[in-house]
Structure 1
Amino acid sequence: MSYEVMNAMIEPLDRLEVLSRLEVEQLLNNSSGGLHHLFRSCALAVLNCDGELDDGRLLLERYSDFDIRVHQVARGIRLELLNAPARAFVDGKMIRGIHEHLFSVLRDIVFVHDEITNNANIDLSASAGITNAVFYILRNAGVFRSMRASGLVVCWGGHAISRNEYDYSKLVGYELGLRGLDVCTGCGPGAMKGPMKGATIGHAKQRIDNGLYLGVTEPGIIAAESPNPIVNNLTIFPDIEKRLEAFVRTGHGVVVFAGGVGTAEEILYLLGVLLHPENRGIPFPLIFTGPESARAYFARIDDFIVQTLGEEARQCYQVIIDDPVAVARAMHSGVEQVREYRRQMGDAWYFNWSLTIDPVFQHPFAPTHENIRGLALHRQQPPALLAANLRRVFSALVAGNVKDEGIRAVEQFGDFEIHGEREIMAPVDALLSAFVAQGRMKVTAENYRPCYKISDF
């Protein structure tokens, strides 16, 4: 099947620093040490906005002739697009939001390569070094300049959700926007797009013309969750762990909508952080919400959390069903508590320095078959550490479902083998089975085949 494509030559809408010859060479270099493959795949994902695919490999195969080249010109740089998805253009002109996102991809890939990965002053083996890297990436992207005093609410949820759940997420975003709150999501479709879309209407009614719609992503997931053009600040992190840390460092609270394994990964990450002894007493509002049809979904999530992490974890969140106004009021009140706490502690409003994040949540986890088999999934460890290992399980399943390298690994070596204590594996199996039955694993739910096997001891 053929898909409509276009060629184009574009320049930055605003000022972008001129690239050095070395940086241009890296972006054109397709070898293992070059950046061209990474730049090309992320750029293609941006151009495929509102696409129906959530499979990184299929996207690259569908547009196998796509290419992007960087040209140095007298006034800076220019991007040449070859065989780009036509959906990114209107009457032959690129949609402005997509145009901005392309140069955000360029900015972050170059910055991370030059100023983070290859910077001798940043120790990525140390917890403080990783946090500093997250801070520098956000600062370079201009996130802190865009943040307003009203507060930033992170919204998590699945890309493969029902229309009813999507409309509900818009209503919540609308109520948040009416209260002046800004929205940050994983920047993709579904529950990541809905709150932003709703917030734009709420902001417009309040005559707020500088609202922040922050999209936070990483190269492994961007093809499956192409950024929606409502995002007015797209920031790309080098891996999922730094992406997750960026959410909790910049956000003043989190709203979770219904989702699949990616949403479960995010929940486990945040609960693991909040369960750390040094974070007790630090206000961080966390709300699970959805329409009435999602009540059973969140009851299962709640049961899973208590069965695996214990009753203490339940105290970290509240569940509000089918009431967008109550969600927004509770979040607005929670953000005010965060504001007062940070004022008393002298902590920054734009970056949560006080929050302790254990290194086990920061170091990248490679979802290989060997690493997954070796995960410690038992109760003979603190709940926070168990949450970290469970988070890695769901991270591996995200890779096996939608990431190019994860899909290929499953095809080559077979399903991921998840092995652990029966009291832990039974709730995991029940939750995953529910996700499959409810079509929450992939957009193409009817064709979904699980990429995992579960066993216990």
Structure 2
Amino acid sequence: MISVIQPPEAMALLSQIEAESLSDTAYGELYDLYRNCSLAVLNSGVQTDNAKELLDKFSDFDIKVVRNERGVKLELINPPKSAFVDGEIITSIQINLYAVLRDIIRMSTLSPRHILPTGMDENSLSHGKMITNIIFSILRSAQILVAGKNPNTVVCWGGHSISKAEYDYAYSVGVQLGLRKFDICTGCGPGVMEAPMVGANFGQSKQNSSTCRFVGLTEPSIIAAEPPNAMVSNLVILPDIEKRLEAFVRFGNAIIVFPGGPGTVEELLYILSIKLLPANRHEQIPLILTGGRESEEYFNTINRFIMDTLGEKASRAYKIIIDDPEEVAVQIKKSMEMVKDHRTLIGDSYCFNWTVQIPEELQIPFVPTHENMYNLNIVKDMEPYKLAATMRQAFSGIVCGNVKEFGIRQINEKGPYVIRGDTGIMQSMDRLLADFVAQGRFKLQTHEYKPCYKIEM
């Protein structure tokens, strides 16, 4: 089966180098990235969390960027049938295919010289500021930054492998957020990444409104494992997990954390590292942890882990609300006013938080090889924000070994990652991960889970 689609005018004009770099004759890293991300989008709504299985299932899929007299066209060869209705590609999937083309091209061309004014040397900015400006450039290119709009974006974090009750609760919170016409931003996959969007869509329909945006922020190795859910209206692909997480924090105005697994703990440790950095003590980053009554013990476990490893100060950085979707939305609405007042006072943008300081440990990409995971050496005498950042790397590695093609291949070849550190911290981490295994929070599959990690005390 071959299907041909014509990109919109903004994406129809590619340079010769851009088009050739994405052609199947190039057979380079960029082409593979483009093909894999496109395949993930074409599988939107499919419940999977294994990149290798998805790529193997559609090994005969190909996508060609063909230049012609009208600009370029995309040829889809053996695409998933689920992406089509009566022979026509589903509109939302087609739009997100254009987003893949846009962001992969952006990644291939983006460098410091593309974001600096003429005459400014790239050495004039710190490495961290350069990364932040690159993230801003990607989000602006995706047209999700709206100048002058009051703070309105709620980031929702949580797991892809959750129970029906947890999904329903996240949906109920989404309804309350939709009734208040908030934009929803998630990691764009299944589970908690979908439920608040579905709920918010229903909530805003009750207000006879269609103003809400459903923004999905992802990165190449995650989108390959977890295709976008069907609700995503604005898809953005960031170059790596660190830039994706920074984009969440700078683009979002408030954060809600629902139940999840190691990926959710990674996100929580990321924002706690930022909140524990002394330079951010005046920053307004509302953070709520919430779930239904059945999730109360889950959050008690998370809170105990944070207390045992990072201390009471870290536990004061968030509020836990159990089984009260309306109260969550009420608190978010109140916090939006605080965010607006703070941004107005300091003259910062409503749509992109420039002033929050991101520790260098959170900006530099962490590659979870066996050696890098072993060398983390997580110890108690680190500054709290550094300890949170280092534990974030450990959980990032576990996520990689769990769902990403690179990590799965490494685990198959060399066995589980070894994580080591102070006995007390390792015991807390081991208890938390054991609870996740018992609760089925690692994988969507129902068969017995084989851990991709080993805790060394």
- TM-score, length of structure 1 as denominator length: 0.95
Contact 1:29 1:35 in 2 (8 A): no
Which moves more between the two structures, 234-243 or 194-203?
Answer: 194-203
Structure 1 residue aligned with 2:80, among 82, 85, 88?
A: 85
CA RMSD of aligned residues (A): 1.7
| Residue number in structure 2 paired with 1:380 | 381
CA shift in 2, pair 1:34/1:297, >3 Å: closer
Q: What does residue range 289-438 of structure 1 map to in structure 2 within 5 Å?
A: 289-438=290-439
| Residue number in structure 2 paired with 1:442 | 443
Secondary structure class of the residue paired with 1:446: coil
Deviation at 1:117, TM superposition (A): 7.4
| Whole-angstrom CA distance in 2 between matches of 1:146 and 1:48 | 33
Q: What does residue range 3-152 of structure 1 map to in structure 2 within 5 Å?
A: 6-13=1-8, 15-28=10-23, 33-116=28-111, 119=114, 121=116, 126-145=127-146, 148-149=149-150, 151-152=152-153
| Residue number in structure 2 paired with 1:3 | none
Deviation at 1:73, TM superposition (A): 2.3
Secondary structure class of the residue paired with 1:184: strand
CA shift in 2, pair 1:248/1:381, >3 Å: same
Secondary structure class of the residue paired with 2:106: helix
Q: How many residues end up aligned between the 2 structures?
A: 451
Deviation at 1:269, TM superposition (A): 0.2
| Residue number in structure 2 paired with 1:453 | 454
* Cα distance per residue 1:197-226 (max 9 Å; x no partner): 111112222233232111000001002221
Residue type of the partner of 2:34? F
Structure 1 alignment gaps of length 5 or more: 1-5
Structure 1 runs of 4+ off > 3 angstroms? 29-34, 116-125, 145-148
| Whole-angstrom CA distance in 2 between matches of 1:150 and 1:205 | 22
* Cα distance per residue 1:26-60 (max 9 Å; x no partner): 00156675411000000011111121221001111
* Cα distance per residue 1:165-201 (max 9 Å; x no partner): 1111111011011112110000011100000111111
| Whole-angstrom CA distance in 1 between matches of 2:382 and 2:29 | 41
Deviation at 1:368, TM superposition (A): 0.3
Structure 2 alignment gaps of length 5 or more: 117-121
| Whole-angstrom CA distance in 2 between matches of 1:55 and 1:14 | 34
Contact 1:41 1:60 in 2 (8 A): yes
| Whole-angstrom CA distance in 1 between matches of 2:113 and 2:55 | 28
Residue type of the partner of 2:260? G
Q: What does residue range 180-199 of structure 1 map to in structure 2 within 5 Å?
A: 180-199=181-200
Contact 1:220 1:403 in 2 (8 A): yes
Deviation at 1:11, TM superposition (A): 1.4
Which moves more between the two structures, 253-262 or 23-32?
Answer: 23-32
Residue type of the partner of 1:333? K
Which moves more between the two structures, 256-265 or 118-127?
Answer: 118-127
Residue type of the partner of 2:305? F
CA shift in 2, pair 1:30/1:377, >3 Å: farther
Residue type of the partner of 2:318? Y
Secondary structure class of the residue paired with 2:145: helix
Secondary structure class of the residue paired with 1:410: helix
Identity of aligned pairs, percent?
47
Deviation at 1:358, TM superposition (A): 1.0
| Whole-angstrom CA distance in 1 between matches of 2:447 and 2:273 | 33
